[in-house]
């Protein structure tokens, strides 16, 4: 988008704001906006938020084309948050539908409610929310993998693939938004980009671990389950450190990683599976350095303001 600079009679220079942006944020004469300068870039930000349109539907008797048409109608009507109630597992069906609707994604699944949200056109606040959700999605993904591996297997290969694809979709969204300079602090933006990249790697490792466990040669054991749960704790600690950095939490994460290293070295069975468990814990711990940088940049910003 380009704008032409206009010189006023009093020597001031002005440009016009995009009318759609002005209307969406209820701006007008006398409205205040924040302005930041960074090298060749000027960032304008408003404190006004667009009110999300929400809709709830009971899809218990909807499937196939009927469900697809209902979601498409809500999408075309401008619905931002869609809550779908269904007692059946329709995860795979929803993912298939969302491939045709740019911006729609399944952000939460609790009991019988599927929450769908338009995740396009992000600003800093939304990117931060998506990163929090992304962490929680991957932790929940790992939890479900552990339940499926060490209890009675209930998850189909197609559902597993779909969930990994949805996680990747969020990671790519964050990366795309930052590349489009939707994050006002360039340094923090690069750090968030790195986080999303590492989370994508961890999601892929969970998928590989899950598939490895479905092979005929895999033998389940309490020892292996305990090792996997320790790895999941590493991911949970990494999320806690992302939200609020403390040296105590960093030390806890490193201790968990060291314990996994020690236990995995003495584990002779299921080595291909153990490799993925260790990789997840190592990737989670490697984020400590990025978290420290993030903490330093935020403290610098607070002290200079």
Please tell me whether residues 156 and 258 are part of one structural domain. yes
Please tell me whether residues 197 and 140 are part of one structural domain. yes
* Span 201-223, average pLDDT: 91
pLDDT digits (tens, 9 = 90+) for 83-126: 999 888 888 888 888 876 767 888 888 878 999 888 775 555 57
Percent of the chain with pLDDT over 90: 35
Structural domain contains residue 1: no
- Pairing between strand 13-14 and 41-45? unpaired
Structural domain contains residue 187: yes
- Residue 15: give the domain boundaries: 6-45
The answer to whether the CB of 118 falls within 8 A of the CB of 182 is: no
Report how far apart, in Å, the C-alpha atoms of 74 and of each of 68, 118, 143, 303 are: 10, 11, 32, 46
pLDDT digits (tens, 9 = 90+) for 62-73: 878 888 889 888
Report how far apart, in Å, the C-alpha atoms of 87 and of each of 20, 71, 110, 153, 301 are: 40, 17, 11, 20, 47
The answer to whether the CB of 244 falls within 8 A of the CB of 277 is: no
Please tell me whether residues 74 and 152 are part of one structural domain. no
Structural domain contains residue 86: yes
Structural domain contains residue 74: yes
Please tell me whether residues 75 and 223 are part of one structural domain. no
- Among 118, 143, 161, identify where a domain stops: 118
- CA dihedral angle for residue 281, residue 283, residue 289, residue 291, rounded to 10 degrees: -80
pLDDT digits (tens, 9 = 90+) for 261-285: 999 988 767 788 999 999 999 999 9
The answer to whether the CB of 198 falls within 8 A of the CB of 281 is: no
Structural domain contains residue 90: yes
**From CA 231, how far away is CA 260, in angstroms rounded?**
7
pLDDT digits (tens, 9 = 90+) for 168-183: 878 877 887 777 656 6
């Amino acid at each position: 988008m380009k704008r032409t600079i206009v010189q006023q009679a009093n020597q001031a220079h002005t440009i016009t704001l995009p009318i759609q942006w002005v209307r969406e944020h209820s701006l007008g004469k006398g409205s205040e906006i924040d302005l930041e300068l960074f090298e060749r870039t000027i960032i304008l930000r408003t404190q006004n938020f667009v009110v999300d349109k929400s809709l709830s539907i009971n899809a218990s008797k909807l499937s196939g084309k009927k469900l697809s048409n209902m979601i498409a109608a809500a999408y075309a009507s401008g619905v931002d948050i869609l809550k779908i109630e269904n007692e059946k597992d329709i995860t795979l069906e929803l993912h298939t539908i969302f491939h045709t609707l740019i911006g729609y994604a399944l952000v939460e699944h609790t009991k019988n409610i599927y929450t769908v949200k338009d995740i396009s056109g992000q600003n800093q606040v939304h990117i931060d929310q998506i990163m929090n959700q992304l962490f929680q999605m991957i932790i929940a993904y790992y939890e479900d993998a552990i339940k499926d591996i060490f209890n009675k297997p209930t998850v189909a290969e197609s559902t597993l693939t779909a969930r990994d694809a949805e996680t990747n979709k969020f990671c790519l969204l964050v990366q795309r938004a930052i590349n489009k300079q939707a994050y006002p602090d360039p340094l923090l933006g690069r750090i968030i980009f790195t986080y999303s990249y590492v989370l994508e790697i961890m999601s892929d490792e969970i998928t590989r671990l899950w598939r490895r466990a479905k092979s005929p040669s895999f033998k389940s054991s309490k020892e292996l389950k305990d090792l996997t749960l320790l790895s999941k704790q590493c991911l949970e600690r990494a999320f806690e450190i992302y939200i609020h950095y403390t040296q105590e939490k960093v030390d806890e994460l490193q201790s968990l990683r060291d314990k996994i290293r020690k236990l995995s070295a003495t584990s002779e069975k299921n080595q291909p599976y153990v490799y993925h468990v260790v990789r997840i814990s190592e990737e989670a711990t490697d984020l400590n350095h990025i978290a420290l940088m993030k903490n330093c940049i935020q403290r610098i910003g607070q002290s200079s303001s």
